[in-house]
A and B are shown apart, each in its own frame.
Chain A
């Protein structure tokens, strides 16, 4: 780790000022700290979001959306987002207890790891990502591996999830990291079905349009019969080649539909 300074503001305004002054947000540190330990980043100043009360908590807004503040840890979402069971289950299955007690939704969405879980939940739910500057629809937020619509220094303050009729998250883990090798979030709303897939694509989380169409007409696993994911843009690595990942996309989507609650 290279030496750096750290600030621990207690208000969002103070955090904004410190970040505007050249700081980088540090939330749960579950991604950033290992990066620093490996000397892959050299920030001069970190601004911890950990002590900012207004960035924590789970609530329901007037439209019935589940709203999660940016620095809320996975553990809290797992425990308190029961009104949206599929979302709570996403949070409750990230990493291990140590990771869930520190890692946050804002950090996960800002990082946008191509194998992360929250991006699938956010995109699959059609969530809204609120920042210290604006509101961004999930469909406009994810811009490819480790890339988002966030501007330099922009802070994720809250994520608002509309609650579908039924939904499920099916995660097939990569044996080493236990991140998703392929995971699928399926949500059925009154006006249609959303299917978001993580872990599979070289361009990060994405929606599977053909599956959404088929399921919007007929929300059963059978509706997916014969539907195949194009392996072309799939990730290939030690843990699975393109064909395997493409195959898993279909299998996990079917299972999500079957298990949707």
Chain B
């Protein structure tokens, strides 16, 4: 019998009521008395020397309050980067200054140059058109391999070149890897592009700055996945505002996918301008601005070599990747191609020797940073593609080749610095073969062929490192902050509970799933429990939501805080029932004395805590509220096996994704329905990356795919009904819930099987054999590859 509440129940997402009835409170819904509007004049060239900005005529236009330029921010800090990568030679990465408004130089299309603040949005836009820029266009560097040539134009004149870092991982492995490849029976080499993506959350970014002279208090309302991180980065590093004078609020956020993790110039601007002008200042991004100012994702160019022995055992993996940083270092950018990518190159396989080289490169493009999966999709894609290619070259079954090389004993220390605690890759593969009905594939292929179509089946496995946290580990890896989380469980006098959590929910359903955990622990109904998130003035602290960390890290903090609450409540219950604390049991919302029929209700105990007429005041304080900080011992390692079936029209190159099946191991599961939804959304984005989405610059640095007329987002008709299963569960060994995280799996695990399936379809036909096609597999690319 499925449960109807608590852990394991598919409780309906309570937040959806407000989202689906238009009663959400998004940042753009916030309008403050006296508010002004800012319009950013953005660069329409990719690279230029900015000699001057003439704002005289614009300032005289109706409604204009003030126009800010780069000069106004000379004394203001640089937009900071949260990670410091140390290169192969032990040197720190090159880290350029990232100004709030361009000063002296323009470095990418979309970079803000001037900020026009006016009484209305249209007045600000009108005035921006009257600003005269004096600049000399410089040759742009767009292609990464060109950018690292000695004579390439420099994105940042003060740096030695466009190479941010040249990272080797693990550098000490290199010799053994080279040897193993030399001596291998077979080496498969694959060069590929992991296509650049624009995250495109449904809600564009918005920021409203507010300043109160009476108490010198700044408030920033912003579309953020992590308000405390913004408060820290912007307060401490950019504007110099101490935390007690800065409140950051991220109310309902309409999707983030990573791109709303980072601290952006616009947030610093509205906060700065609100004080300078003593009026609230609001910015709402247009969709066009989002394309050229939200951090982009992926954009790797990789060569991977997989070496096998004569029995088809993997003996070594060697990779060389160029990773685009864009023009500036966004908050997480340097960590994505390194610690979130290199550490995953073992995948699900016991390859003994692995070496990863990553060259991070500055180009005249929008900064690139984490996008759903961040680094792990790039790792999974190249590994799972090269394995499929090796299977084809060797004429062996791609599933058998994978199985033969699976890691089967845990814990398992990989050659790339991480230790997987649990997993069962054979179990997820078995499950996949069952739910995807591999047995029926040949019959379906025949049906397709009868229609003149080609059918392909593609498979892949994945492993990811989630619950992005262990502070001591990430500190060694270059994180400039700790990555724990915090929660406060506040029990009210009549027994209802508010839980203040550092994780932020912007689609993940925390408001539903977190109360399920508390409800299970205490035995009171879920609707007696509310989650409070997204406001630094209400939450103790928190590092926000990304890297599938919310439940594993913040949920663990919540469990710890709830345990403290329960322990204290038991003391109170013991006092009320004149029993000894050790005999008190909590079940279904009642405290009872073991072996007796004495009991008191949860509400009686909580009331006693706040109306302490009969209370052990000399032993414990009144009140019932506890906070816990939780820093895990390791990452979590969700894993799974995915399969996809496509039908290809050989005349047009059009590919239809017919079936998609996912067998995931997320450890324990709180709400199966929400988990399925997360996997569905992730796969939709994976289908987007593999089949449709591609962010393209021309050689001059103009963004060609700058709107939905040219940037293809997946729609309902592009995705099949999914078959997802998460019954294979190897609980995480080091967090109290045994959970692993599920938010990114779909996006990480799906692109390789999609591409593998299309290649299987093509190569099943009578025509030309094709070894690889770069994503997105648009009809024109597929058709061209087949000619």
Contacts and interface: CB of A to CB of B under 8 A. Distances in A.
A199 B711 CA distance: 17
Contacts of A175: 692, 712, 778-779
Given A244-B780, A244-B784, A177 B122 contact: no
A38 B780 contact: no
Interface string B705-747: 1001111110000000000000000000000000000000000
B25 interface: no
Interface stretch (A117-125, A156-164, A235-243): A235-243
A229 B386 CA distance: 38
Interface string A172-196: 1001110001000000000000000
Nearest to A96: B715
A168 interface: no
A251 B652 contact: yes
B633 interface: no
B712 A240 contact: no
B696 interface: yes
A2 B126 CA distance: 8
B231 to A, nearest CB: 34
A1 interface: yes
A240 B712 CA distance: 14
Interface string B123-151: 00110010000000000000000000000
Contacts of A241: 780, 784
A177 B706 CA distance: 12
A238 B696 contact: yes
Nearest to A237: B710
Nearest to B718: A175
Contact of B709 (A39, A177, A248, A251): A177
A238 B776 CA distance: 11
Contact of A177 (B651, B708, B783): B708
Chain A interface SS verdict (over half): loop
A172 B780 CA distance: 11
Contact of A238 (B653, B705, B708): B705
A134 interface: no
Chain B interface SS verdict (over half): loop
A181 to B, nearest CB: 8
B783 A244 contact: yes
Given A175-B692, A175-B778, A175-B779, A251 B651 contact: yes
A247 B708 contact: no
Contacts of B654: 172
Contacts of B125: 39
Interface string B478-502: 0000000000000000000000000
A39 B778 CA distance: 31
Interface residues of A, number: 20
B387 to A, nearest CB: 28
B651 A240 contact: no
Contacts of A38: 288
A98 interface: no
B61 to A, nearest CB: 13
Nearest to A179: B709
B17 interface: no
A3 interface: yes
Nearest to A115: B709
Given A38-B288, A238-B705, A176 B711 contact: yes
Interface string B102-135: 0000000000000000000010011001000000
B594 interface: no
A239 B122 contact: no
A39 B713 CA distance: 24
A176 B710 contact: yes
Nearest to B698: A238
A239 B780 contact: yes
Contacts of A248: 652
Contacts of B288: 38
A247 B709 CA distance: 23
A133 B620 CA distance: 92
Given A177-B710, A244-B783, A172 B778 contact: no
A256 to B, nearest CB: 13
Given A38-B288, A176-B709, A239 B651 contact: no
Contacts of B692: 175-176
Contacts of B176: none
Interface in A33-50: 38-39
A221 to B, nearest CB: 12
B704 interface: yes
Nearest to A245: B780
Contact of A176 (B122, B651, B712, B779): B712
Given A38-B288, A240-B780, 6 more contacts: A3-B122, A176-B712, A177-B708, A238-B704, A239-B778, A244-B653
8 contacts: A172-B652, A177-B710, A238-B704, A238-B705, A238-B710, A239-B778, A240-B780, A244-B783
Interface of A: 1-3, 38-39, 172, 175-177, 181, 237-241, 243-244, 247-248, 251
